Structure 1
Amino acid sequence: MKRLWTPAWIARHVATVVLVGGFLGLGWWQVSRAAGGNTLSWGYAVEWPVFAGFVCYVWWRELRHALRAQAADDAATGPDATAAAGAVDAAAPAPSPAAPSGVRRPVRVRVPAAPADDAEDAELAAYNRYLRWLNANPGARPGDYPG
């Protein structure tokens, strides 16, 4: 629980309270406008509490994620961790301390280029000749190309 009282988490808690209070206040303001005859405000009166609910959902999800990470760290550094570490096969590679436990590097598969057809090569060579001519003649128009 101590992890949830760092300066970053305090800022998150305060931002959540401010946003939820503000969104609910804006929703109430739209209800009062709708009651005054502005029919468009009924849509906004529903929309603002939905925004407040979304802020609560994101805060709750981040809170659970932080608590699960803390529980995993506690389990990895607890007294049973040294006994469990002795039971692990010595040949198994140790995880990198720099990388988080749940994050892995993406797998990259190199795909060889498909062999080009002769017709494509001829078209490509002609296009490259055209580009070389345009580069050599900067003031020329494309219609002046002799090829």
Structure 2
Amino acid sequence: MVGIDRLLDAVAANHLRDPARAAIVVDLGSAITVDLVSPEGAFLGGVIMPGIAMSARALYQFTDLLPEIEMSELTVPPPVLGTSTVPAMRSGLFWGAVGAIRQLIELLGDRVTGEPEVFLSGGAGPAVAELLGRSVRHVPHLTLAGIVLTARLQCET
């Protein structure tokens, strides 16, 4: 079973990508998903991990002394060096997610021939897009685009 949101993201990426290239779709929501779509347009699978805000809640809930912090609206990356607890938490949560995403893009990209196109969607997308080290296309509402494209295809058949 695969979540419908991931499949809809793949539908939208298929519509946007170069038909000769694979696509990697990164969706930054409650969970972070990083998925691979083949050059032929097939959803190949991917990775699901906790989103930034979910990880922040986990630090608060499962430790005795770390405070609850808000991480849902990230428009600017936090400084890497946190000089006290809350800034250090923000840094670790944000930059940890960016590092994981970078690594996953590299690992998934190694599974296909050629350089895949990378699409990024979700809440922290603008803050993360420029940090991934590849030409990343930020598509704010990729899942919604997938819904529209799927509805159009259904109407045509």
Do they fold alike, i.e. is TM over 0.5?
A: no
Q: Looking at CA atoms only, which structure, 1 or 2, has the larger radius of gyration? A: 1
Q: So what's the TM-score if we normalise by structure 1?
A: 0.29
Q: Which has the higher helix share?
A: 1
Q: Which has the higher strand share?
A: 2
Q: So what's the TM-score if we normalise by structure 2?
A: 0.27
Instruction: Considering Cα pairs closer than 8 Å and 6+ residues apart, tell me whether 1 or 2 has the greater RCO.
Output: 2
